[in-house]
Amino acid sequence: MALESHYEERLGTHTYEQNHKRVVNFLRNYFFLQEFPKESVDCSERTIHTVTGIVDVNALEIREGETDILGLYPTFAMLEHSCLPNTRHCFNEGRRVVVSAAVDVKAGEHLTTMYTHVLWGTAQRRDHLKHSKYFMCTCRRCADPTELGTHFTSLRCRSCADGFLLSAAPLDELADWLCASCSATMPAKAVTEATLRLGEEVEAALTQLDLAQLEALVERHASTTVHHNHFHLFAARHTLLQMYGRGEGGAEGQKEHMRRKERLCGDFLKVCTALDPGMARLGPYAGVALYEYHLAVLARARGHPEAAQQESVALRRDIESAKALLQQCIKVLKDEPEKQPEGQLCAMARTNLAELCQWQATIVPS
């Protein structure tokens, strides 16, 4: 009860009304909590709303198989928010939360975690925090119109060939967006509408999982609408890099797809590293990209004419690269629960690394 509930700020909101209908009235009327003596059970509407507020504002999601539950950890709740967190957390078998440093933390430095989604744009992250945590983030990433050089929310300028529109003041929701090349402007409302339209189009495409259509969507919008690193296209590219090399198209088609997979994985991981150097929140995404990257490199290695016969410089380089990618994949996924897909991928990476070392011993003399 010492945790913040933001009761006053929640009054009259959609969340408040939903909680009143689904929780407060349900407990008071169907479970007859109001029949208990007040000195035994405090079942006032305000108290129940305070409890639901504490859960909504402070609880952590815990994935258990197909189920998500919420856990309330009073000590963890004291960690500050940052869109560049310096800690990561996971859960052990007893549902205890385990917190570790994601990057070097200096003595006296505040410990931070992230209360929102790392792969949302600045406006989307800040809006979520405003309406769910009741504050506006002013961290280094939010204050940078380029989002740490990634252009994660940048739009292509309609007035010049090579310019990109950036928010003139990222911490002001209503600020116009300006082209860095020609100084053309776009109102914040128009930017929001364009971003929403793109998000809807990408979401629809991701339900179809058609490689050619998804690839065409990314290429079209990257050349006409937004920066190729835009967060909506980033989600589509994460799906694409997993689809490449798993379809039809003949031997030459598969080779081309593996080349695209390799380029895409490299670009994807550069953005991940810029946004989350310690992989505090992007570990699962980076882990998938690292595993897929190793598949692309390994496909090239197996395609070397010398692969089954003798050593070559290129073959040795590719095998070492594939091993390094698997080792990094294991490193970023090692704390993931074994029963979750990320934990299973980590186990697969360990197996593949052992098999790769065995293969290397047969074709590349030590």
Catalogue all structural domains in the chain, each as residue range(s) with its CATH number: 7-114 (2.170.270), 244-366 (no CATH)
Provide the mean pLDDT of the chain.
91
How would you classify the pairing of strands 185-186 and 177-179?
antiparallel
The per-residue pLDDT for range 219-255, each reduced to its tens digit, is 999 999 999 999 999 999 999 999 998 866 656 778 8
> How many C-alpha atoms does 263 have within 13 Å on its Cβ side?
5
Instruction: Provide the 10 A C-beta neighbour count for residue 332.
Output: 24
The per-residue pLDDT for range 60-94, each reduced to its tens digit, is 998 877 788 999 999 999 999 999 999 999 888 88
- pLDDT above 90 covers a percentage of the chain that reads 77
Question: By CB neighbour count within 10 A (0-12 exposed, 13-18 middle, 19+ buried), where does 83 fall?
Answer: buried
Question: From CA 125, how far away is CA 148, in angstroms rounded?
Answer: 15
Residue type, 287: G
Instruction: Provide the 10 A C-beta neighbour count for residue 306.
Output: 14
Question: From CA 26, how far away is CA 34, in angstroms rounded?
Answer: 11
Angle CA 32–35–37, to nearest 5: 135
How would you classify the pairing of strands 80-81 and 112-113?
parallel
The per-residue pLDDT for range 312-343, each reduced to its tens digit, is 778 888 999 999 999 999 999 998 888 889 99
pLDDT band at 36 (very low <50, low <70, confident <90, very high): confident
How would you classify the pairing of strands 185-186 and 60-64?
unpaired
The per-residue pLDDT for range 188-229, each reduced to its tens digit, is 999 999 999 999 999 999 999 899 999 999 999 999 999 999
- Residue 354 in this model has a pLDDT that exceeds 80: yes
Residue type, 25: N
- Give the closest residue to 201 by CA, choosing from 187, 186, 221: 221
> How many C-alpha atoms does 73 have within 13 Å on its Cβ side?
19
Mean pLDDT of the region 149-177: 95
Mean pLDDT of the region 47-63: 93
Q: What is the pTM of this model?
A: 0.89
Secondary structure class of 124 (helix, strand, coil): helix
Furthest-apart CA atoms within the chain: distance in Å: 84
